[in-house]
């Protein structure tokens, strides 16, 4: 990663982070490396370096002025995932890191997860394996206009999905308390899962950093656990249920 010429007027400053983001974008790693901005990054002087461990994990180390940055890459389900790591304390090993995987693709095995539904009950994606197809309907927030319209539409078409052996799971970063109130208000019949820590949206590569929520996206998982359809919508465009239904085999 070429970071030559970047300046850091103040460690951890907004200008430093923006410069680093531009560099990441320039080398084509946007969406694969997430920049974090928590606290001071420390004063330990790491020389620029790149090395690879026998198991395939590699680290790239460099400094901007006296700010150390480490990029770590490893494999998750056979795919490369990069972590951008900063050392916030001089001489210490307190590491703050954030992982964002690449966006999932058709043909992938859907990453498993367990989230709470609107009743606070834990729901695991793997519990449907061999039994049901699963529509993961990621959406930004409860109570917002487009999210309200499309979730009402999903409930209206629920019988069509059930007729094809398919369950619908709405997924957003709201709490399960919000989900419960919203579901009761709208009379929704499908389950809503709470990705409050943003872990699932990040695992699926569907985290929208600018709004701290998931993208509006549909991931259709068949009974074998494989992704057979995926579509990411514009944030203000509702999904097309017939398009999803036609993809169910």
- φ, ψ of residue 196 in degrees (nearest 5): -60, -35
Active site residues: 147
**Tokens encoding 88:** 């916030």
Torsion of CA 238, 172, 102, 36, to 10 degrees: 120
Sheet holding 49-52, edge to edge: 49-52, 58-64, 67-76, 79-86, 96-99
Report whether 48 contacts 62 (CB < 8 A).
yes
């Amino acid at each position: 990663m070429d970071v030559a010429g970047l300046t850091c007027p103040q460690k951890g400053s907004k200008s430093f982070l923006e410069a680093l983001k531009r560099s990441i974008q320039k080398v084509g790693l946007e969406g694969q490396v997430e920049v974090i901005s928590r606290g001071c990054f420390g004063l330990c002087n790491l020389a620029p370096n790149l090395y690879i461990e026998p198991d395939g994990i590699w680290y790239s180390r460099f400094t901007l002025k006296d700010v150390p940055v480490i990029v770590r890459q490893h494999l998750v389900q056979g795919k490369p995932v990069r972590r951008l790591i900063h050392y916030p304390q001089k001489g210490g090993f307190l590491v703050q890191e954030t992982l964002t995987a690449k966006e999932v693709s058709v043909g992938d095995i859907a990453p498993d997860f367990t989230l709470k539904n609107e009743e606070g009950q834990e729901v695991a994606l793997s519990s449907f394996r061999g039994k049901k197809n699963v529509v993961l309907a990621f959406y930004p927030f409860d109570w917002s206009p487009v999210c309200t319209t499309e979730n009402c539409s999903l409930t209206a078409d629920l019988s069509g999905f059930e007729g094809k052996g398919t369950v619908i799971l709405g997924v957003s970063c709201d709490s399960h308390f919000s989900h419960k109130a919203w579901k009761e208000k709208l009379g929704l019949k499908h389950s809503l899962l709470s990705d409050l820590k943003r872990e699932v949206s990040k695992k699926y590569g569907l985290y929208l950093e600018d709004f701290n929520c998931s993208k509006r996206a549909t991931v259709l998982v068949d009974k074998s656990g494989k992704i057979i359809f995926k579509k990411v919508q514009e944030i203000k465009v509702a999904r097309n249920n017939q398009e999803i239904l036609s993809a169910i085999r």
